[in-house]
Amino acid sequence: MMKKKLIAVAALALSGSLSAGLAQADDLVVKIGHAGPLTGNIAHLGKDNENGARLALEEYQAKGVTIGGKKVKFELISEDDQGDPKTGNIVAQRLVDAGVKGVVGHLNSGVSIPASRIYNQAGIVMVSPSSTNPTLTQQGFPFVFRTMSNDIQQGTVLGKFATAKLGKKVAIIDDRTAYGQGLADEVEKGVKATGGAVSSREFTTNQSTDFMAILTKVKSQNPDVVVYTGMDAQGGPMLKQMRQLGIAAKFMTGDGGCTLDFIKLAGDAMNDKAYCSQAGLPLDQLTDKTFRERYKKRFGIEVQVYAPYAYDAASAIVEAMKAANSVEPAKYQPFLKKVAFKGAGGNVAFDDKGDVKAGAITVYQFRAGKWEALK
Binding residues for another protein, rule: CB under 8 A, are 1-2, 39-41, 80, 82, 84-86, 89-90, 93-94, 96-97, 110, 113-114, 117, 121, 135, 139-140, 176-178, 180-182, 201-205, 207-210, 212-214, 216-217, 219-221, 232-233, 236-237, 240-241, 244-246, 261, 264-265, 267-268
Distance CA 76, CA 287 (A): 25
Nearest approach, Cβ of 41 to another protein (angstroms)? 4
Residue pair 205/178 in contact (Cβ under 8 Å)? The answer is no
Residue pair 300/265 in contact (Cβ under 8 Å)? The answer is no
Nearer to another protein, 176 or 331 (CB): 176
Nearer to another protein, 97 or 284 (CB): 97
Could you tell me the CA-to-CA distances from 120 to 93, 96, 112, 140 in Å, in that order? Answer: 11, 10, 12, 10
Nearer to another protein, 36 or 180 (CB): 180
Nearer to another protein, 2 or 22 (CB): 2
Nearest approach, Cβ of 367 to another protein (angstroms)? 20
Nearest approach, Cβ of 178 to another protein (angstroms)? 5
Nearest approach, Cβ of 42 to another protein (angstroms)? 9
* DSSP secondary structure code for residue 125 in this structure: E
Distance CA 148, CA 125 (A): 16
User: Phi-psi category of 82—alpha, beta or left, where left has phi over 0 and alpha has psi -120 to 50?
Assistant: left
Nearest approach, Cβ of 295 to another protein (angstroms)? 23
Distance CA 7, CA 137 (A): 38
Nearest approach, Cβ of 40 to another protein (angstroms)? 6
The set of residues, in sequence order, having a beta carbon less than 8 Å from that of 295 and lying 6+ positions away, is 51, 52, 55, 302, 303, 307
DSSP for 218-268, please give it. HHHT--SEEEEES-HHHHHHHHHHHHHTT---EEEE-GGG-SHHHHHHHGG
Nearer to another protein, 116 or 315 (CB): 116
Nearest approach, Cβ of 302 to another protein (angstroms)? 19
Nearer to another protein, 203 or 299 (CB): 203
Nearer to another protein, 84 or 328 (CB): 84
Nearest approach, Cβ of 267 to another protein (angstroms)? 6
Residue pair 229/173 in contact (Cβ under 8 Å)? The answer is yes
CB atoms within 10 A of CB 98: 13
CB atoms within 10 A of CB 212: 12
Nearer to another protein, 156 or 259 (CB): 259
Closest CA to 229 of 325, 289, 162: 162
Nearest approach, Cβ of 181 to another protein (angstroms)? 5
Nearer to another protein, 70 or 94 (CB): 94
The set of residues, in sequence order, having a beta carbon less than 8 Å from that of 95 and lying 6+ positions away, is 33, 35, 77, 79, 103, 119, 124
CA angle 282, 46, 116 (to 5 degrees): 100
